[in-house]
Amino acid sequence: MTTNIILLGPPGAGKGTQARKLVEERGMVQLSTGDMLRDAQASGSAMGKKVAEVMAAGQLVTDDIVIGLIREKLEQGSEGGFIFDGFPRTLPQADALGELLDGMGAKLDAVIEMQVDDEALVQRITARSTCGDCGEVYNDITKPIPADGKCSNCGGTEFKRRADDNEDSLRQRLMEYYKKTSPLIGYYYAKGQLSSVNGLGEIDAVKAEIAAVLG
Ligand SMILES: [Zn+2]
């Protein structure tokens, strides 16, 4: 069955992690704006050339362009459906996505809000590091790097912290989220499409909650 969903939540809520699970286990296709922009340029498609021009000119990629890229991806189809991750980010983008899906005879099956407590989120993000080899995620509080200094997944010994995982920049990104993106929660609630899961649970517990929503 094809399922199209939006994962909604503040930076660090675990959207990327859960999206990866859905890709692996349900054959869904993850549509993240950054990846789409990179893929489009690499593919040399008509939209890709447009993106390359805009970015080369140092201009911002408009909603129209992103919607165009999403259209290209949707037209390619996906047996498992699509996950919108990081888009829509604003109310106008949500309207535009709705129009696009309507126009293609497609629909959104669920909008899943990953709820997190702000203070816990700040702690979770600033404590995060990843294995430089395999990308396994560690957390100083909940899942520390093993005492022998080796990644439990691949044995790697290099770990990195994202430069923007410091508290100030996280609060900045949170502010952006609350100003521009969090109104989408009310928007999709009013459309009867919103489901909420506890984003602060263990990865498998969150996954189970999402699976229950998707049925
Ligand atoms: Zn590793």
> Would you give the DSSP letter of residue 111?
E
Whole-angstrom CA distances from 69 to 16, 102, 176 are: 20, 16, 23
Tell whether 206 is in a known binding site. no
Question: What's the first-to-final CA gap in the chain, in angstroms?
Answer: 11
Per-domain boundaries in the chain: 3-28+78-214
Cβ pair 180, 92 in contact under 8 A: no
Tell me which amino acid residue 6 is: I
Whole-angstrom CA distances from 35 to 28, 90, 124, 208 are: 15, 19, 24, 26
Buried b (16+ CB within 10 A) or exposed e, 30-60: bbbbeebbebbbeeeeebbebbeeeeeeeee
Q: Give residue-wise pLDDT tens across range 190-209.
A: 999 999 999 988 899 999 99
> Would you give the DSSP letter of residue 108?
-
Q: Give residue-wise pLDDT tens across range 33-85.
A: 888 888 888 988 888 888 889 888 888 889 999 999 999 899 999 999 999 98
DSSP H or E stretch at residue 30? strand 29-32
Question: Which CATH superfamily does the domain covering 3-28+78-214 fall into?
Answer: P-loop containing nucleotide triphosphate hydrolases (3.40.50.300)
Ligand 1 centre and the CA of 129: distance in Å?
A: 11
Catalytic annotation present for 71: no
Strand 110-115 versus strand 5-8 pairing type = parallel
pLDDT of residue 6: 97
pLDDT confidence tier of residue 89, bands split at 50, 70 and 90: very high
Catalytic annotation present for 162: yes
Catalytic annotation present for 124: no
Residues with beta carbon < 5 A to ion ligand 1?
131, 133-134, 136, 151, 153-154, 156
Tell whether 201 is in a known binding site. yes
Catalytic annotation present for 161: no
